[in-house]
Each structure stands twice: as structure tokens, then as C-alpha cells.
Structure 1
Amino acid sequence: MAKKKRGQKHKNETTSVKSKEYERPKDPQCLVFSQGSLQKETDTLVSDFRKILQPNSIAWMKKSKIRDIVSVCRPMNFTHMVLFSETEVGIYMKICRLPHGPTLTFKVKSFSNSHDIMSLLKKQPSNATKFLVGPCLMTNLQLEEGEPHLKLSARMFLDMFPTITPNTANTDAIQRCCLIHYDAENEVFDFRHYSIRVIPLGLSKAIKKFSTGKVPNLSKFSDISEFLTKSGMMSESEAEDDPANEVTVNESKGAGEETKASKKSSVRLTELGPRLSVELWKIEEGLMDGLVLYHRIIKKTPEEKLELEKHRERTKQLREQRKREQEKNIKAKMKRLEEHKQKCLKGMRDYKENLANSDDDERDDDAQYFKEEIGEDPDEALFDKVQPGKKRKADVEDRTQKKIKKFQNKKKPGSDSDSDDDDNHYSRGKGKPREGRMSGKGKGKGKGKVSFKSHGKIRKAIPSGKKTKKKNFNKK
């Protein structure tokens, strides 16, 4: 096999590098988490609402600071943020567009968790693959009709969910839907979450059992035709269907073929939960801070709005001025620290130079003094010039020889030789006299140095008939 030349890339390698470039997801990414302390039911509502937006909701980022989210929203493609908070008055839900707003504040009138909804169903759906694709949005809100606050709400809801093109969308992949209905009389938004099932029409219940792959119990029938033609085997859905629930679903015959066969089917919706009924309370221009565009209760006159705008502008200028002052103070502090560091380093260098010069001068003076007093030049080893902070090699060798000699002359304790006696003529193995004790026959406190019996003599003075008790000795 021929070897590939070095320094030359294959054409396929260059194309593969270009294909591995990072591509941002086109679907919106929503963050759903709580703000402050919540009750157990409200905390469950937060997790249920996060499931509605899956897989476009971030599950691992449950709580974080808003400033941190704003700083990373662009590189991580976070588009919306949903906050749930609870006060003594009620429960509030805020929907924010990242990173600059606007912010919609809703007050929750009533809600039901997914567990409460699923407990009412006779047959609970347990297909986890439904949450691998985002839900489709169904709403009666219009972008071009109604009041301005309703138009803005409709735009916010539409941007939260992935867009679906009817001509190119895969109908089999859409298995969930989110219904947002606006009641104009009560001014309430109702949230519902359903799973979608498409059931073909014109099939009996017996044929549906065979189509699912399950083999029914045929022990009571002599022929399979009896099972198929048995009365009462019509499906329950066919009795409830009406022409309004019938849809025509296109099914492709094969891969790459443009011709498609159509069949009639009925649509079944199963509620998954949660349920929410909310009221639009306030709309702010910025990210939870800005000009109030709409308020449900408080109404401002044009003069009051102008005054609020001026106050907000003054606050913004003051904040920018403080920010500039802080940056200036930080630069001045870093400059002072750098000057102090250079000053300390210069002082350390000067100290080392002065120390080296002083040692040289002292050694020169000692040699000159020796020459003047004795009349001869001193030996080179006597006043050897060494660098400051380092030990002389001769001193180290002398000290080592002394340690070796001391170790060799050291005698074991209890030896009788007199060669190792110290200056006071006491053997190393014998105890030295102590002050304040009397030896021999005398008793009482003595003054001055008094002779003391050695350890061997004390042991001989003990009568032979008595036995001494040893410490830490246990008889078995």
C-alpha cells in the first residue's frame, strides 16, 4: 500500500473539518426556574411547566442569578426565561425575552399539577418519546388584531415554541400540543397540555388488535372469522367521531417517491397537564426593569409617564458615573500595588549588595589587623572570603569529624571502665548526685550537695525475702 505524502491533506479531510463547525440550534431555548422560596405544590408546577417546553428547556440550570444568565445568553442561545415567584398575595409568572426584554408579568389564578390530571385518566400514556420533539402551539390570539398588549403577548408566546411549516412538517413527529386560549370576557389566559394520537377510521376493534402486533385470545372461537365478525367489536372511537374530527393524513409509499397515499383518520387528545389560568398583570419595556407599557390596575397620565422617564434617565446616568469612578479607582489601586512591589524588590536587592560589601570589608579589616599585630601575613584559610549566607566547607568538615569522634568515644551505660569518666569523676553508667537528698543513714532534708547511692547499691540493700512488684504486670 502506498504511503501518503507528509504535509499534504486529503480532500476529504478538508471537507470534514468544515462540516464539524458549530451550528447554533434554530429552535428557541427557554429557562424555567423559581425565584425565592416556594411551597411544595408551586415547586412541582415549575418542574411540570419545564416539561411542556422540552426538549427546548434547560433542565440542568434550575436556579441561577439573572446577571449570570444575561452574560451567557448569546453564546448559549438562550432566548426566553420563565420565572415563578410566590408572595403573600399570590403566585406570579414572568416571561422575559433575553437579553433586553420585554417582560410580561402574569398572576396565577388557579393551577393543577400533572399528577392531579393523570390520576383522573383510566389509561395513562407512558410514551417517553413524545418529549423528544417540541410541542406545537394552538392559540386564538392574533398578531394583527386586538389591543397592543394582546399583540405583544401573542408574539411572545409564538417565539417561545418552535415554528412548524405545514407543507414540510413530519406529522408523525408531532405528538404534543400546547393550547393557549384567551377569554376576552374575563381577560384570562388558559394553558393546556395535550398528547396527540392519530387513529385510522373504518377499522374494527378486532383488526386494531392484530395491527398492534398482539395476538388475542381465540380459545372461545372455532374460526378467526367469528372473532372478526362478532357483534359489538366496533371501536369506541367510531361511535364518538363526527365529520369535524376527521382529518386526511398523507402517507409516503416509499423513500424518494413523490406520490403519497391519503387515508382518513381521527385525532385524539389526551391531557397531560399541568393546567394554568393566569391574568396579564404588567408589561415592562426592559428586562424586569424599565418603562411600564401596560398595567392592569394602575393607569398613568402622560405627565406622570414623562416624570418617570426623566427619573429613570437620571438613575441610568448616575449608575454609569459610578461605574466609571469604580474603574478609575481600580486602576489607581493596581498602580499603587505595582509601585509598592517594585519598591520592595529594589530594597531587597540593595540589602543583599550592602550585606556582601560589609562582609568583604570586615574580612579585609581582620586580615590587616592580624598583620599589624603579629607582623606576618595571615594564612589564606584563616580569613577565607565566602559568599554571605553560605557555610564554609572547612567548618562543615570539622563539625562532622567532631560528631564522629564523639560517637566513637561514647560508652554504653553500666560499664565499669574509668576511661570514660567525665570531669567530675562520675561514670557514665552511674547516677550523679542530686541536691536535697541524703544518702546512707541520715534522714530529712539536706543542704548542699550530698552523696547518693548508685542504682546497683540500692538494689543490694533490699532484703532477699521480699519481692518487689513490677508495674504493668498482670498475672495469668
Structure 2
Amino acid sequence: MGKTRKKKKQASSEEATSAIPHTIVMQRGKVGRFVNSLVLDLRKVMEPFTAQKLKILKNNVLRDFIHVAGPYGVTHFLLLSRSEISANLRICRLPRGPTITFRILSFSLCRDVVSSLRHAMTTPQLFTHPPLLVLNNFNTEVSSMKLMVTVLQNMFPSINVQKIKLSTIKRCVLFQYDEETNSVYFRHYAIKLLPVGTSHGVKKLLRRSVPDLSKFEDISEFITKGNLSESEGEDMTEDHVTLPQNLPGVGNIRRQQSAIKLTELGPRMALQLIKVEDGVCDGEVLHHEFITKSRKEIRETRKRHLQRRKLRERRRKEQERNVKQKQREKEDNRTRSIAGQKRKSTEAELSGAEKKRQKLGQHNKIQAVKRTTKRPTKQLTGQPTKQSTKHTKHTKQSTKHTKQLSKHTVMKTKHKRTFTRKAHRFNAP
């Protein structure tokens, strides 16, 4: 039973992660080192459901990433590019669009924001869960603004208020629209909760930081008189909330009041909406901030886009047809090659069997001939047999050998005689 439960839990977790939107943040073209660092900061913002260690090669085209996005469950692209005027940010919804293009009026990196703060708050535990999205001052009656709001909402996972754990909400992302400047401001904060109704001395003790008590005679003086730094200011009643759940941190208990504190993490961006287009970076322009077209021009552009779509569909169908035909040809070639290999193997087996038969026949013939020659036959008188001829040859060879030996011995005796004679003559007086 335990194993089946584990499998069910794994399946449910996979389904939940597949429903969550995933993003890829990357640069297109030459953008410079500051925009490259902005890409890394935006990847940090979109954690944990983003490709943090993505490496882009020069040969990679946007179409390659679109083909890969489906199997990996990627739903949004954040593309940063640079033109002669300014840097641009494109947010693409996959697989069919729309694409929203922003002009980046100004931006600050995470390192600049953190260095400007007195009490920075950057811990890796903040990025284990996705951030909370906050949209402020957007007019949804305008079609372009409504489309922009829906795209921004779909970039982040939705929240179930009844089931959500408040301990998972550690960051928030703010998009605020300014009507006067017609720009959207982007901010990224870390959320912190502090208990309310306690003095600053008790708060310092709850933070587990040991205070300097050398100036006080008793700890009661430290709590009542204080003489402490007021760097964070007085707690405002607007920030006070009653907690529905127990949260990590000293004093954050259920049904007790706590104050919400936001510390900025960065980056900062000031964005201006340029255009909204259908499709992924190559569709019909639905809205443009600076260019207005007449109805006739809109019809012509629509016709052009329809022709492009028809051309693409035709090419796609042709490509699919060609792929199927190639697969059929490959299968036919495979079946033919298999049949040829089988035929060759059978022919080789048959030829081998025939050769064996021929060899056996030749062997049998030779054996039959040998048998016929070995059989004893009646010899005529006066005609020598094969055995007698062999015996005579052997005797002739033995006689020759004996003659040669006798000659050799005679020569040896003669040599000895001459040697003895010479020696006798030498020794004579």
C-alpha cells in the first residue's frame, strides 16, 4: 500500500508542476554586459520555474527554442535585445502568442539596489518558491492594457486562497502603471513579518541578537528606557495584519497581529509599452503606441499575413508529405535489404551443401579406386609384381651402399700404409 501511495503523490506533484507556468529569459543579439547582467537578475526573479543556467550559442535561432519549449512545458519567453535608441523587452506567450514589446526607459541591477540598502536581505531560501504578483493602477477597459494584464498574470502561478501556505510567500513582484508618464514600473521585494505590540528592546531580544547592556544597571532599563536606534521608524497601523496561520519567525503566531516589512531585492525597471502583436514575434500588429494605420492599410496587412500563413501551412504539409514518403522509402529499402540478406544466406547454405556433397562424392570415388587396387589379383608367370619390383630396388640400393663403404675402407688402409712408411724413413739413422 505504501508504494502505491508514493506513486500517486509523485503523479499529483508532476501534474501540479506541469500546470505552473515556466519561463526562459535570454538575450537576442549583441546587448552589452549591463543588459546581460539584467538577464541574470530577471532569471533570479522568475525562480524556481525558469532555466537559470541556460547557455545560448551564436547558431541558436528563436525557432529552436520554440520547438524545445513544448516538451519542457515552457509557456513564456522573456527576450531582451538592444537597438540604437534603447534596450527592449519582449514577453512572448507560447505557442501562439501574443507578443508584447516594451521599451526599457531605465533600469537598475540587483547589485546596485542591494548596495544602496542599509539592511539587505538576500538569502537562498527566498528563491525556493515563486513570487506573489501585484498589479496596481491598470485600466482594464482599454484593450491593449487588458491584454498586457492577462499576459503578466499568466507569467506567474495562480493562488488558491483556501489551500495556500503563507510560509511559501516570501517575495512579491510589483507592476505599477503611471498614467502621467504612460509607463510601467517594475519592483521586486522580499516579505518579512514582525510581531506587533512589543517594545523595540523586546524585538531586539526576539531577533536573537545580543544587545550591548554595559550602559544599563538592569535589563528592565534596557526594555523601558530603550535608548535604541529607530532606523526602521514607528510601526504603521496600515501594515498590521492578523495571521491566519503560524509562520516561521519568533512571535508570528496564529490570530496575533504582525507587521509586514518589504525589503527591495532588485532589479528595478521603467517600461513603456510599444506594441502588441499576434503570434510569436512575427504576427499581425494589434496595437502600436506611435504608428497609426488607416483601415485600408490594416486590410492590406491582414491579407499579407493571411498569405504568409497559407504559405506556411502549405510548406508544412509538403514537408510532412515528404517526411512520410521518405519513411516509406526507408521501410521499403529495409524490407528489400532484409529479403536480399535472407536470399543470400539461403543461397550460401545451398551452395555449401552442394560443395559438401561434391566433396563427399569425390572422396567416395577415391576410396572405391583404392579398394579396387588393394584387392589381390592373380599374376601371370614371368611378370613381376609391384612388391617384387620394390624389393629389387631396395636390394640394389643396399648393394651400392656396401660397395661405397668398401671403397672407403680401402682408401683408409692405403692412407695408413703410406703414413707409416714415411714415418719409418724419418726415424731411420
Q: Please report the TM-score for the alignment, with normalisation by the length of structure 1.
A: 0.64
Please tell me the root mean square deviation across aligned C-alpha atoms, in Å.
3.8
Pairing partner for 1:261 from 252, 255, 262: 255
Aligned residue type for 1:46: V
Does structure 1 retain, via aligned residues, the 8 Å contact 2:88–2:102? yes
How many residue pairs were aligned? 354
Aligned residue type for 2:256: S
2:366 alignment partner in structure 1: 379
1:90 alignment partner in structure 2: 86
CA apart distance, 1:221: 3.1
Does structure 1 retain, via aligned residues, the 8 Å contact 2:201–2:226? no
Does structure 2 retain, via aligned residues, the 8 Å contact 1:107–1:279? yes
- Identical residues among aligned pairs (%): 33
Change (3 A) 1:338 1:58: closer
2:119 alignment partner in structure 1: 123
CA apart distance, 1:139: 2.0
1:445 alignment partner in structure 2: none
Structure holding more helix per residue: 2
**Structure 1 residue 218 corresponds to structure 2 residue 210:** no
Aligned residue type for 1:45: L
2:37 alignment partner in structure 1: 44
Name the CA distance, whole Å, in 1 between partners of 2:262 and 2:31: 32
Name the CA distance, whole Å, in 2 between partners of 1:78 and 1:326: 26
Change (3 A) 1:128 1:12: closer
Determine helix, strand or coil for the equivalent of 2:150: helix
Q: Deviations over 1:214-256 (max 9, x none)?
A: 33333443322232233533744344x444x4322226579xx
Name the CA distance, whole Å, in 2 between partners of 1:230 and 1:15: 58
Does structure 2 retain, via aligned residues, the 8 Å contact 1:24–1:77? no
Determine helix, strand or coil for the equivalent of 1:119: helix
Pairing partner for 2:284 from 285, 291, 302: 291
Change (3 A) 1:225 1:287: same
**Structure 1 residue 306 corresponds to structure 2 residue 299:** yes
Name the CA distance, whole Å, in 2 between partners of 1:154 and 1:315: 29
Does structure 1 retain, via aligned residues, the 8 Å contact 2:37–2:109? yes
- What does 1:263-342 correspond to in 2, within 5 Å? 263=257, 265-332=258-325, 342=336
For structure 1, which segment, 153-162 or 206-215, has the greater mean C-alpha deviation from structure 2 after superposition? Answer: 206-215
Pairing partner for 1:182 from 171, 177, 180: 177
2:15 alignment partner in structure 1: 23
Aligned residue type for 1:87: S
Name the CA distance, whole Å, in 2 between partners of 1:304 and 1:20: 54
Greater relative contact order (Cα < 8 A, sep 6+): 2
CA apart distance, 1:180: 0.9
Q: Deviations over 1:189-228 (max 9, x none)?
A: 1111122223334433322221122333334433222322
In the alignment, structure 2 segments of 5+ residues that lack a partner are 248-252, 370-429
2:415 alignment partner in structure 1: none
Name the CA distance, whole Å, in 1 between partners of 2:331 and 2:4: 48
Determine helix, strand or coil for the equivalent of 2:194: strand
Aligned residue type for 1:152: L
1:156 alignment partner in structure 2: 151
Q: Deviations over 1:45-79 (max 9, x none)?
A: 00101111222323133546544443454443322
1:197 alignment partner in structure 2: 192
Q: Deviations over 1:86-135 (max 9, x none)?
A: 23332111111111111101111111111111111223223221112222
CA apart distance, 1:346: 4.9
Q: Deviations over 1:164-204 (max 9, x none)?
A: 35565444442222111111122111111122223334433
Determine helix, strand or coil for the equivalent of 1:129: helix
Name the CA distance, whole Å, in 1 between partners of 2:167 and 2:325: 65
Name the CA distance, whole Å, in 2 between partners of 1:378 and 1:168: 97
Aligned residue type for 1:98: L
CA apart distance, 1:43: 0.3
Aligned residue type for 2:129: V
Pairing partner for 1:102 from 98, 103, 109: 98
Change (3 A) 1:325 1:260: closer
Q: Please report the TM-score for the alignment, with normalisation by the length of structure 2.
A: 0.70
Aligned residue type for 1:176: R
Q: Deviations over 1:307-349 (max 9, x none)?
A: 2222222222223333333444455556666667748975994
1:77 alignment partner in structure 2: 73
